[in-house]
């Protein structure tokens, strides 16, 4: 898919991996709509880059549908690129001295990370189906975000790992469902990245985490995620795949 002049939406685009992806797509000439639950950061980024922002909680299907419709109408040719970076985490063991893992936070993580991603996939795909086919009869590209926790979940990551494992599990059937329309679906599974979530840690702890990566021995940088997202968009043979972006890291139990 050609990025230049294509309409794109980045959900969770106000900060971290999403912000980097917004910037990368914008630099390559896409017409980008930023969708995020954080209106302050989203509007500030949109103002800086001269883009459109729309408030969007991925758990609310009406908000996702409205965001996708806005993105589809923002440029010529309909929505061509959708990247979902929205997500959050929760650390708690399955059971312990205080009893079982509460159900509510588990449900909340699945609602945001898994059902939210599903909402973006289904509404963005529906918008893309009506596009005129481009080269190789391609109509659009969907990129979702999992985590290496889908494979290497650590102690206390049962909710997060379940949600990200679900994103990985959706990737191939989604790609197969949409193949008849010329819409590709791929997922990126990042390792330890220097996002706002890790920014809250002391610098010593951040350095220690980065040193555990085989190579390069540092935290990943959001522009590296964004670079891969753009490469996925441009490589038409890449479909139904989950790509680990982790510097060969395999997480230990703790």
- Catalytic residue numbers read 160
Query: Is the Cβ–Cβ distance between 79 and 131 less than 8 Å?
Result: yes
Exposure b/e, 154-188, CB count within 10 A at least 16 = b = eebbbbbbbbbbbbbebbbebbeebeebbbbbbbb
Instruction: State phi, psi for 151 to the nearest 5 degrees.
Output: -110, -35
Instruction: State phi, psi for 168 to the nearest 5 degrees.
Output: -60, -45
**Alpha-carbon gap, residue 1 to 138, rounded angstroms:** 7
The helix or strand, by DSSP H or E, that contains position 79, with its residue range, turns out to be strand 79-84
Query: Is the Cβ–Cβ distance between 90 and 72 less than 8 Å?
Result: no
Distances (CA, A) of 48 to 9, 53, 226: 17, 11, 18
**Alpha-carbon gap, residue 161 to 150, rounded angstroms:** 5
Q: In 5-102, where does DSSP find H-type helix?
A: 16-27, 39-49, 61-72
Sign of CA dihedral 23, 145, 230, 68: negative
């Amino acid at each position: 898919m050609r990025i230049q002049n294509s309409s794109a939406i980045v959900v969770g685009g106000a900060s971290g991996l999403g912000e980097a992806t917004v910037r990368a797509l914008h630099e390559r000439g896409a017409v980008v709509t930023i969708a995020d639950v954080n209106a302050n950061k989203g509007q500030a980024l949109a103002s800086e880059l001269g883009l459109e922002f729309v408030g969007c909680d991925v758990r609310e299907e009406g908000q996702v549908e409205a965001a996708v419709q806005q993105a589809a109408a923002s440029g010529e040719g309909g929505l061509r690129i959708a990247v979902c970076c929205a997500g959050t985490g929760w650390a708690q063991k399955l059971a312990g001295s205080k009893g079982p893992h509460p159900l509510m936070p588990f449900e909340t993580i699945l609602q945001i990370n898994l059902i939210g991603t599903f909402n973006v996939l289904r509404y963005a795909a529906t918008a893309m189906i009506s596009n005129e086919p481009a080269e190789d009869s391609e109509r659009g590209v969907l990129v979702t975000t999992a985590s290496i926790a889908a494979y290497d979940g650590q102690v206390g990551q049962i909710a997060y790992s379940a949600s990200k494992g679900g994103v990985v599990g959706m990737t191939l059937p989604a790609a197969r469902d949409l193949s008849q329309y010329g819409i590709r679906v791929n997922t990126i599974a990042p390792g330890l990245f220097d996002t706002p979530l890790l920014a809250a840690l002391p610098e010593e702890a951040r350095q220690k985490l980065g040193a555990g990566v085989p190579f390069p021995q540092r935290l990943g940088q959001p522009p590296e995620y964004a670079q891969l997202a753009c490469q996925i968009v441009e490589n038409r043979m890449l479909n139904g795949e989950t790509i680990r972006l982790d510097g060969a890291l395999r997480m230990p139990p703790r």
